[in-house]
Amino acid sequence: MNTTKKTREPLFHLIKRTNVPMWQAWLVRGVTVLAAFLLIGLMSFISLKINPFKVYSYMIKGAFGDSYRIMRLLRDLAILLLFALAVTPAFKMKFWNIGAEGQVLMGAYACMFCIFNLGGKINDTLLIFISLAAALVAGSIWAVIPALFKAKWNTNETLFTLMMNYVAIQIILYTIKIWVPGGTGVLTPTVYGNLPKIAGDNFWLSIIAALVMTAIMFVYLRFSKHGYEITVVGESENTARYIGINVKKVIIRTLLLSGLICGITGFLLVAGINHTVSSTTAGGRGFTAILVSWLAKFNPIFMIFTSFLVVFLAKGTDEVMTMSGITNSFFSQVVTGVMFLMIIGCEFFINYRVVFSRHIKKATVVAAVPVTEESAAAETLEAPVNDTQADASEKEDNV
Amino acid sequence: MKRIVTIILALALVLTVVAGVAACKGKIKDAEEVQIPALEGMEVADYSNLSVPADFKIGMICLHDESSTYDLNFINAAKAAVKALGMSESQLVIKTGIDEDVACYEAAKDLINNSRCKVIFADSFGHEQYIAQAAAEFPNVQFCHATGVTAGSSTLTNFHNAFASIYEGRFLAGIAAGMKLYEMNKDKAEADQNYKIGYVGAFTYAEVISGYTSYFLGVKYALNQAQAGLGDKLSMKVKFTGSWYDVAAEKSAAEALISQGCVLISQHADSMGAPSACEAAGVPNVSYNGSTITACPKTFIVSSRIDWTPYVKYIIAQTVKGQAIDDNFTGTLKDGSVALTGVNGDVMAEGTIDAIVTARAKLVAGTLNVFDTNTFTVNGQKITSKLVNGEEVVINGAFKESKVMSAPYFDYDEIDGIKCLNRYYNPGEEIAA
């Protein structure tokens, strides 16, 4: 190494913020969402020549234009919320379950399987209970399999749950092909095993289910012993083990819970809303739910707002496209992307402070930033060497 | 020193890229598109006396967005029809990305609630039951559904199906492919000749089966025209993807067919997967739904497509006039519903245009039948009878497609010469060839 060469230090460093008041953080988030909407308006104007105010009014109209739209918005919000509730306990435990899509699909599939085979042959009320039970079992099996593997052999749960999604999709496609051999992968809606409609439509049942589940999940995570164990395992597995928590048991139990909620969601999607199943029944919401849950900091109450934001954007951009004659889905994708990029960016700045190097002392730099061995050594060349470890590494480097 | 070297290397890299791009620009010229002369004696409906009220709206429900060639074909047609009838753009309301589930019914309802659409047109086969559901709820709105099969037997008076005799278009496109195939083989020794072609299909059901069979018969017809009996050497492998729009699956299906020795590929699936795989491998391709000449200048031959413009005009006109819409509308070559794109002059065989024009005239005159039962066999047997909804469709030695209803019902998935590699959707499941 050329010891005479003057090494440059990085341009800036990141320092973790520790005591940001809650109100301040939420103010920043609120302003970010507003700024994102401004940016969306600006971009629509520049690239598509649509009046930004029209964009906003279309978005609001798309979401709240009439009572039918409002009810659909609420129902879709409820369903997305259920997905998010399903992934939350696992994520809180730092178990990266990205398999909600497949777990819900399996729940939906099991429900449809019962309806398809038993519909018309047994009492319809009984059928509803059988298909609910089947959905719960199927959803939880799909969630527990990766959990078992994780607990037993420490397999990578991200890859495992992801692959389980594809298995679920293929099972559904294959079964539909058998049920409808000369078709296009579409199964005609069934008249059997349908959940009763409340107020003449399929909206309220999902909304009520989501509200109940949200309350239960909030209490479970916040006030129960299980919830506490999940938090501890998430923070540090070693600590959990040290204080006598059976980590394997917690992992499997938590995933079982995830799977059960997914089963309920799948059941609602089939018996309550679609009355059929397809590979798009979950519609990617198993993945969107991760974002919903994460942005809400795994708090079920906050998730209502983050779900709302996602569904509002979807409905809003659909309306903008329809009313402006845009027939390419890039618009809604870009808008959603901009919004969440901005929000994730704002989370970063709430959590970290960017400090430009010339404002801080060298010693702080070394202490605050994880550095590679080489740059640590380089750093010490300039800084007064008062650390034996740095000294040693310098020597090592010079050998 | 190091820095200077880096800069020099970076500069060199950039210059190479720039030079490369410049060189490419010089070399690649746009493929020459040759238009097929319009059919003589076309009977295009005249709507010049029709005045559409300013508040009249037509709603459209599309399965995918315009990146799907299938949906784009519908969107373009609807826009063209609206323009031709002197309506404003805002009188056409399009919803894209509507799944084949309850979302379709809700989209239809929303189009009525919020846009006050008087007529709604849905484009995908799986939309049918949801459109019928909406039709039952809104008797004062007309519901039209492309490619569907149940309007004829339905008691609803405001629910209609439509299709076109696209098998004739496929047949004509097959002629272009057959002539190309002949040209590719004619100077080769007998042992080196290869008359194996491939086809990428979406689902194993009548619409796709009818499509590839008529295409196959077109290729066979052209080969037999070039040299009597040559058509018997033709064989076609079909691979299904189990999806209307799956770029990766369509691409890999085309690649698999090419690696199995198919020298010419066509497809009935809606992404650019298969055409672009053909372009990459330099294998000629007959497309569907629209021209892919810009993306595939070296391999695109021709594409057949249904031009939905006449139908969209028709349903608007009938709704405005308060007259009934046909429950089973079948567009034809004559009314302009069945169309061929321009042919790629750089790829097509000599005489292709003349051959297409001649065959087209015969088809329109009725002297040539696509499903002439003398030209194909199933398991070695000639087809002599087939009942569709209780009606005989084999008449005077020809299988009459789109006669009982507009949607295709020719569903012999393997006439002799055609081999389905995977009847089920699963791309991995391969029946031994």
Please write the tens of the pLDDT for every residue from A135-171. Answer: 999 999 999 999 999 999 999 999 999 999 999 999 9
Q: For residues A304 and A314, what is the distance between their CA atoms, to the nearest angstrom?
A: 15
Q: How confident is the model at residue A395 (pLDDT cuts 50, 70, 90)?
A: very low
CA A16 and chain centroid, separation: 24
CA distance linking residue A245 with residue A352, whole number of Å: 32
B195 confidence band (pLDDT: 50, 70, 90): very high
Q: Tell me how many degrees the CA angle B176-B178-B179 measures, rounded to the nearest 5.
A: 65
Query: Nearest Cβ partner of B411 from A182, A185, A274?
Result: A182
Under the banding of pLDDT at 50, 70 and 90, the label for residue B19 is low
Question: How far apart are alpha carbons A110 and B46 in whole angstroms?
Answer: 54
**B241 to chain A: which residues are within 8 Å by CB?**
none
DSSP per-residue letters across B127-191: GHHHHHHHHHH-TTSEEEEET-S-TTT---SSEEEEEE-HHHHHHHHHHHHHHHHHHHHTTS-GG
Q: Give the C-alpha separation, B249 to A173, whole Å.
A: 14
CA distances B65 to A63, B116, B406, Å, are 21, 22, 25
Q: Where are the beta strands (DSSP E) in A38-107?
A: none
- How far apart are alpha carbons A170 and B428 in whole angstroms? 11
A170 close contact with B: CB closer than 8 A: yes
**B48 CB contacts (<8 Å, ≥6 apart)?**
none
pLDDT the model gives residue A356: 82
Dump pLDDT digits (tens) for A111-134.
Answer: 999 999 999 999 999 999 999 999
Give the H/E segment covering residue A123: none
From A273, A280, A329, residue closest to B65, measured CB to CB: A329
Cross-strand pairs, B344: B33
The Cα B3–Cα A389 span in angstroms is 31
Is residue A2 predicted with pLDDT exceeding 60? no
Checking if the pLDDT of A5 tops 70, the result is no
Helix residue ranges per DSSP H, B227-296: 247-259, 273-281
Q: Which residues of B touch A328 (CB under 8 A)?
A: 65-67, 96
* Positions of E strands within B284-397: 285-288, 300-306, 328-331, 338-340, 343-344, 387-388, 391-392, 394-395
Angle between helices A100-118 and A67-92 (to 10 degrees): 120
pLDDT of residue A377 exceeding 50, the answer is no
CATH of region B167-306+341-371+407-420, choose from 3.40.50.920, 3.10.28.10, 3.40.50.2300, 3.30.420.40: 3.40.50.2300
**Predicted pLDDT at B62:** 96
> Residue B143: which residues within 8 A CB-CB, separation 6 or more?
B108, B119, B120, B122, B131, B132, B134, B135, B156, B158, B159, B160
A325 contacts B89? CB cut-off 8 A: yes
Q: What are phi and psi of A200, to 5 degrees?
A: 75, 0
What mean pLDDT comes out for the span B17-32?
A: 56
Q: What is the enclosing helix (H) or strand (E) of A186?
A: none
C-alpha distance from A143 to closest chain B C-alpha (Å): 25
3-state SS class at B64: coil
Residue B22, Cβ density class (10 Å: 0-12 exposed, 13-18 middle, ≥19 buried): exposed
The Cα A342–Cα B146 span in angstroms is: 42
Contacts of B244 in chain A (CB under 8 A): 184
Please give the pLDDT value at position B17. Answer: 56
Give the phi and the psi of residue B427 in degrees, each rounded to 5: -65, -25
> Looking at residues A302-318, what average pLDDT do you find?
95
DSSP lists the bridge partners of residue A352 as A16
Spatial separation of the C-alpha atoms in residues A101 and A106, rounded to whole Å: 9
CB of B67 within 8 Å of any CB in chain A? yes
**CB-based contact (8 Å) between B43 and chain A?**
no
Residues 6+ apart with CB under 8 A from B102: A189, A202, A273, A274, A275, B130
Which helix (H) or strand (E) segment holds residue B223: the answer is helix B206-226
* pLDDT above 70: residue A40: yes
Nearest to B81 by CA among B245, B310, B290, B241: B310
**Out of B72, B96, B206, closest to residue A329 by CB:** B96
pLDDT the model gives residue B360: 96
Partners of A182 on chain B (C-beta within 8 Å) are: 204-206, 411
Return the residue of B nearest to A61 by Cα: B114
DSSP letter string over A205-223?
HHHHHHHHHHHHHHHHHHH
List CB contacts (< 8 A) between B205 and chain A.
Answer: 182-184
- In angstroms, what separates the C-alpha of A185 from chain B's closest C-alpha? 7
B102/A273 Cβ within 8 A: yes
- Cα angle A59, A60, A66; round to 5: 120
Contacts of A327 in chain B (CB under 8 A): 62, 65-66, 71-72, 75, 94, 96
Q: How deeply is A53 buried, as exposed, middle or buried, from its count of CB atoms within 10 A (0-12, 13-18, 19+)?
A: exposed
CB interface of B with A, residues 320-339, below 8 Å: none
Q: How far, in Å, CA of B352 to CA of B173, rounded? A: 10
Model pLDDT, residue B13: 64
Residues of chain A contacting residue B100, judged by C-beta atoms under 8 Å apart: 184, 186, 278
- Rounded CA-CA distance A350/B425 in Å is 49
Whether A276 and chain B come into contact, CB under 8 Å, resolves to yes
Residue B423: how many CA atoms within 13 Å on its side-chain side? 15
Residue A335 near residue A317, CB atoms below 8 Å = yes
Residue of A nearest to B105 (CA): A274
Maximum Cα interatomic distance, chain B, rounded to a whole number of Å? 87
- Note whether A270 and A108 are within 8 A (CB): yes
In whole angstroms, give the CA distance from residue A283 to residue B101.
11
Whole-Å CA distances, A274 to A108, B99, B102: 10, 11, 6
Residue among A275, A317, A327 with most chain B CBs within 10 A, to mutate? A327
Say yes or no for a CB contact (<8 Å) between B102 and A325: no
Residue A357 confidence (pLDDT) above 50? yes
Please give, rounded to a whole number of angstroms, the shortest distance from the CA of A24 to a CA of chain B: 39
Of B70, B43, B25, residue with least CA distance to B337: B43
Cross-chain Cβ contact B424/A174 below 8 Å: yes
DSSP-derived letter for residue A157 is H
Radius of gyration of chain A (CA): 26
Task: With beta carbons less than 8 A apart as the criterion, state whether A288 and A337 touch.
Answer: no
Question: Tell me: the pLDDT tens digits for B335-354?
Answer: 999 999 999 999 999 999 99
For A276, which of B67, B90, B101 is closest by C-beta distance? B101
Is B99–A283 a contact, with Cβ atoms under 8 angstroms apart? Answer: yes
For chain B, state the CA radius of gyration. 23
B99/chain A closest Cα distance in angstroms: 8
**Beta carbons within 8 Å of A370's beta carbon, 6+ residues apart:** none
Q: Please count the other Cβ atoms lying within 10 Å of the Cβ belonging to residue A116.
A: 18
Which of A177, A186, A283 is the closest to B100 by Cβ?
A186
A274 touches chain B (CB under 8 A): yes
Q: Is A191 an interface residue toward B (CB < 8 Å)?
A: no
Residues A280, B101: C-beta atoms closer than 8 Å: yes
Write the residue in B67, B101, B109 that is nearest to A278 by C-beta: B101
Please state the domain extents for chain B: 58-165+308-331, 167-306+341-371+407-420
State the Cα–Cα distance between residues B161 and B217, nearest whole angstrom: 27
Answer for the pair A101, A288: CB distance below 8 angstroms, yes or no. Answer: no
Residue closest to B126 by CA, chosen among A276, A158, A232: A276
Total Cβ atoms within 10 A of residue A119: 17
CA B248 to the chain's CA centroid: 19
How far are the Cα atoms of A138, A160, A169 from residue A157, in angstroms, in the given order?
A: 18, 5, 18
User: Of the ranges A16-20, A25-29, B245-249, B321-325, which one carries the lowest mean pLDDT score?
Assistant: A16-20
8 Å CB contact of A182 and B204: yes
The 3-state DSSP class for residue B105 equals: helix
**pLDDT band at residue A22 under the 50/70/90 scheme:** confident
Nearest to B97 among A188, A189, A329 (CB): A329
pLDDT at B6: 64
Cβ neighbours of A177 in B, within 8 Å: 242, 424-425
Q: Name the minimum distance, in Å, from the CA of A159 to any CA of chain B.
A: 21
Cα gap A147→A95, rounded to integer Å = 9
H/E run at residue B84: helix B69-84
- CB within 8 Å of chain A, chain B residues 154-183: none
Q: Which of residues 203-262 of B touch A (CB under 8 A)?
A: 203-206, 242-244
Q: What is the pLDDT of residue B59?
A: 97
Token representation of residue A226: 């299980």
- Set of chain A residues whose Cβ sits within 8 Å of the Cβ of B425: 173-174, 177, 185
B126 Cβ under 8 Å from any chain A Cβ: yes
- Determine the CATH number of domain B58-165+308-331: 3.40.50.2300
CATH code for A66-324? 1.10.3470
Q: Cβ contact (<8 Å) for A186 and B243? A: no
Mean pLDDT computed over B397-415: 93
Q: Is B110 on the interface with A (CB under 8 A)?
A: yes
Binding-face residues of B in 343-382 toward A, CB within 8 A: none
Residue A199: pLDDT band with limits 50, 70, 90: confident
Written as six digits, the tokens of A20 are 């940001």
For chain B, the average pLDDT equals 91
A278:B99 CB<8 A: yes
Closest CA to B273 of B110, B70, B39: B70
d(CA A296, CA A290): 10
Asked whether the beta carbons of residue B126 and residue A325 sit closer than 8 angstroms, the reply is no
Which of residues A355 and B428 earns the better pLDDT score?
Answer: A355
- Which residue of chain A comes nearest to B129, CA vs CA? A188
Chains A–B, number of C-beta pairs less than 8 Å apart: 84
CB contact under 8 A, B95 and A173: no
Same CATH topology for B58-165+308-331 and B167-306+341-371+407-420: the answer is yes
pLDDT value at B35 more than 90: yes
Q: Where in chain A is the domain with CATH 1.10.3470?
A: 66-324
Name which residue leads in pLDDT, B63 or B16. Answer: B63
Query: Among partner residues B92, B129, B205, which is closest to A182 by beta-carbon distance?
Result: B205
Confidence label for A185 from pLDDT (cuts 50, 70 and 90): confident
pLDDT-derived band at A379 (thresholds 50, 70, 90) equals very low
Mean model confidence pLDDT for chain A: 87
Is A2 at the interface with chain B, CB within 8 A? no
Comparing C-alpha atoms, which of B51, B432, B413 is closest to residue B213? B413
Interchain CB distance below 8 Å, B66 and A327 = yes
Contacts of B94 in chain A (CB under 8 A): 322, 325, 327
| Stretch 12-41 of chain B: residues touching chain A, C-beta under 8 Å | none
